A = this chain, B = another copy of it.
Amino acid sequence: MTPALEALYRGFEDELLIPLWTEIGDLMPAHPRSKAAAHLWRWQSLRRLAEQAGEIVPVGRGGERRAIALANPSLGGKPFATPTLWAAIQYLLPGEDAPEHRHTQHAFRFVVEGSGVWTVVGGDAVPMNRGDFLPQAGWNWHAHHNATDEPMAWIDGLDIPFQWTNEAQFFEFGRDEISGAERITPERARSEQLWGHPGLRPLGVTHSTPGSPLLSYKWEHTDRALSDQLDLERQGYAGTVEPGHAAVRFVDPSTGGDVLPTIRAEFHRVTRGSVTAPVRETGSSVYQVFDGSGRVTVGDLTWSVTRGDLFVVPSWQPLSIVSEAGDTDSDSGALDLFRFSDAPIFEALRIHRTDHSDHTDKD
């Protein structure tokens, strides 16, 4: 470096300036090279640590939730599963309440085990059981209560990293106690009574909201929709994504679009022995194995996965899934996977890309 160039760079530094030409490789790569790593978290470990937290850490105002977040090893020690997505295990003991609050972060719960807890959203008590998906768009008051005799664990997904980076977040505390009427665990939430009927919209609801008005997507519907697709495939009709691979997207029944403005949620079923073709996409995803076992390849890494395991697919890394019997599991079922991603962000801003080509030899 010449003295003149050195002087120039010092001048830049003094004036809080940085030239493009030294940074362009990092800032404008040929394609996304994610700062996040592909990574797998084992449910067994998560579950164990959540139980220990249940014994030691109370849940209450201030801390708000006994939630333990996946911290991607390549994201600088932040509790971020990906650059945009938060994923945590939340754990609630019998009789415990997680206090009411609201925030602009869009959120959901997905129940991988247990049942009997409910989430009260805007005064509507929503029951939670294995396989249920509960979206909750930003700025809705919500609290949780465990009305059973057993501890319960579920997955929280939010766009905390996205809103934290882009600085759009607001937060308010709600009531410290939720009222008696809201404490009765119903079989269905009121929002399900209004919005949970296929292709039917209640005429009495005239306002619209940013996210889905349906607060619970029950497992029985998801399971049946996937079975139906595979049934069509067996009969020789279109319906699955690819052979042996059925999938549904959770959508807002009032728009047909994504269930939350920033988060896409899907459920995938891969039949025993099937392999999904590699796909890569801009933006990141988190998957949780709901049932079955198999092998998952993300970029250069391959893991064996089983019930409850969570893994991250960073931007533009190809993903392929193989459904197969696990080491200790002899059942004959399919591999069932819950997925959430940040795709709605990229689609809304028209910077979304998907690549279905074989990219074995591509960089």
Chain A residues close to B by CB (< 8 Å): 2, 4-5, 7-8, 11-12, 15-24, 26-32, 34-36, 39, 41, 45-46, 49, 52-53, 55-57, 62-73, 77-79, 83-84, 88, 103-105, 138, 160, 162-172, 190, 193-205, 210, 212, 214, 217, 221-222, 224-225, 228-229, 231-232, 237-241, 246-256, 259, 261-262, 266, 282-284, 314-316, 342, 344-346, 348-353
Contacts and interface: CB of A to CB of B under 8 A. Distances in A.
Contacts of A88: 20
Given A30-B170, A204-B241, A283-B168, A19 B232 contact: no
A170 B31 contact: yes
18 contacts: A4-B56, A8-B56, A15-B41, A16-B39, A18-B68, A20-B68, A20-B88, A23-B69, A28-B105, A138-B350, A166-B315, A167-B316, A198-B221, A200-B251, A202-B247, A202-B248, A204-B229, A204-B239
Contact of A166 (B11, B20, B84, B194): B84
B167 A79 contact: no
A88 to B, nearest CB: 6
B250 A199 contact: yes
Given A57-B8, A345-B349, A214 B198 contact: yes
Nearest to A253: B199
A33 B2 CA distance: 41
Contacts of A217: 198-200
A23 B164 CA distance: 12
Given A239-B193, A349-B348, A57 B5 contact: yes
Contacts of A238: 204-205
A328 to B, nearest CB: 21
Contacts of A249: 200-201, 203
Closest 8 CB pairs of A and B: A21-B63, A18-B79, A167-B315, A193-B228, A203-B247, A197-B225, A348-B348, A210-B350
Nearest to A267: B200
A136 to B, nearest CB: 14
A197 B224 contact: yes
Given A28-B160, A194-B229, A351-B261, A5 B56 contact: yes
B20 A64 contact: yes
Given A17-B46, A193-B232, A204-B241, 8 more contacts: A8-B52, A8-B57, A16-B72, A19-B69, A21-B57, A168-B282, A200-B248, A201-B251
A310 to B, nearest CB: 11
A200 B217 CA distance: 8
B167 A204 contact: no
A2 B56 contact: yes
Contact of A17 (B62, B71, B84, B232): B71
Contact of A349 (B36, B68, B194, B261): B261
Contact of A198 (B169, B239, B240, B253): B253
A124 B253 CA distance: 24
Contacts of A254: 256
A45 to B, nearest CB: 5
B197 A18 contact: no
